[in-house]
Amino acid sequence: MTDRHVLSEPIVITGIGMIASVGDDRESVWQAVREGRSNFRYLRGIRGIVDDTIVGATVDLPQRLDGRLKVLPLCETAAAEAMADAGVEMANIDADRFGCSIAGHMGDTSWIDEQLGKPLPERRPNWWEQWFPNTACSLIARKYGLGGPRLCNSTACSTSLISIMTAVRAIRDRQCDIMLAGGADALDPMFVAGFDRMRVLAKDDDPNRACRPFDQTRKGFVFGEGAAIFVIERLGHALRRGATIYAEVKSTSALAQAHHVTGVDAESETLDYLIRSALKKANVQPEDIGYINAHGTGTEQNDAAEAAGIRRAFGDLTDGVCVSATKSILGHMINAAGAAELAITTLGLRDGFAPPTLNLHNPDPLCTFDCVPRTGRTNRYQHALKLSLAFGGHLVAMVLSRWNDANTGFAYPPTYVPAVTGSSHQTGYPSPSVDLRRSM
């Protein structure tokens, strides 16, 4: 096999693991997303919050944390499911050619309580877990005995999508044949308090209606917890071990928007260029894209700038593309957001379904394309685009193509029928007020 052939070999997705507020595994999360069931609730007892209340989409873990950072079992859960989904048997894989690219994350900030004279938890994380942002990456690599590259980055809410991009590049650079890639995140009091001070957190009398991207009445985003991990590998490696393939990663692109730490360029010239570059690298025409999973935070600036960038890049074709913001269902998972939304995009390709944007009743005139309002629908698209627009000017675009080979890929399922019909907003979970004083 020549070097030229190795570098041009397709990179494919063969395993997905996911956990979020709406489900504790990949398929239950996907089912909730398809049916438009969010699980937002009031959270109280978080230090530093002015009025002691925010809306969040948290994950209730069945196991005791016993002093561990919550992000770690979230990551472990998703990684284990991804490995099982991909049918990975380590005995049959060269561990030295198996790498790990997991998003960086917050450490232990409970020491702030000590400074404030508040009681500390009975157990706290081990010293090596307290601040190292690469703890999850190292933990997962050790758990599976992965001897390939261990890569970790921190690029705000594009972090996990860049982790996947980094994994793809590591394979293309011949550093390894297969990678675990993605990220996890859990609500951290100091982080939440910072965003609360910025006044970008959404609230509503009904917490499940708090996040409404692309709507004229949008108020901001809602924090979410969860994880999404992928198994990504060379096509030849996947075929040799008999893996089932979801999609091909056609291209990945990242650019810096040198504009402002938190603000965005309203003209969206950089995003326009990024999208065009990603499509060109993928050898995919704008008219071939059937679905875009938007960053779609529900903040006024971000939504308008993203909409402008999409419309600039797609021009008259914009109205023919489904564009949804699934943070309206899962919340904003920050470091895990890009991976979780890429997982939704991949499952949408598999099943031929465009997930909805919840709570979209009054579209902003600047966001008038097809945002799949309130109810998802069958849409057997072959190519999809995932976008992340992070604080600090980190812009990322990834193009996926459905794997249509009958012998190695997934067949389309029968026409989808929602479990509950007749409602534009289906919420299958209660929305209690949760006091986090005892669990933080």
**Integer Cα distance of 287 and 74 in angstroms:** 38
Dihedral sign, Cα of residue 90, residue 93, residue 95, residue 101? negative
**230, containing H or E segment:** strand 226-234
**Integer Cα distance of 382 and 428 in angstroms:** 30
Q: Report the side by side order of strands in the sheet with 223-224.
A: 223-224, 53-57, 41-44, 433-435
Catalytic residue among 105, 237, 332, 394: 332
Could you tell me the maximum CA-CA distance found in the chain, to the nearest angstrom? 64
Q: Among 382, 199, 369, which residue's Cα sits nearest to residue 296?
A: 369
3-state secondary structure string across 370-388? ECCECCCEECCCCEEEEEE
Q: Is 157 annotated in the active site?
A: yes
Is the distance from CB of 268 to CB of 309 less than 8 angstroms?
yes
Q: Among 76, 126, 108, which residue's Cα sits nearest to residue 188?
A: 108
Q: Among 250, 351, 265, 270, which residue's Cα sits nearest to residue 35?
A: 351
**Integer Cα distance of 139 and 400 in angstroms:** 28
Q: Among 327, 323, 367, 374, which residue's Cα sits nearest to residue 348?
A: 323
Both tokens of 322, joined, read 């489904």
Going through 361-430 in order, the beta strands assigned E by DSSP cover: 377-378, 383-390, 394-402
Catalytic residue among 75, 100, 137, 157: 157
**Integer Cα distance of 372 and 297 in angstroms:** 15
CA angle (410, 412, 418) in 5-degree steps: 125
Catalytic residue among 105, 295, 383, 394: 295
Helix, strand, coil fractions of the chain, as percent rounded to 5: 35, 25, 45
Q: Among 9, 6, 14, 7, which residue's Cα sits nearest to residue 247?
A: 14
C-alpha separations of 60 from 27, 187, 430 in Å:
17, 12, 13
**249, containing H or E segment:** strand 247-256
Where in the sequence numbering do the catalytic residues fall?
157, 295, 332
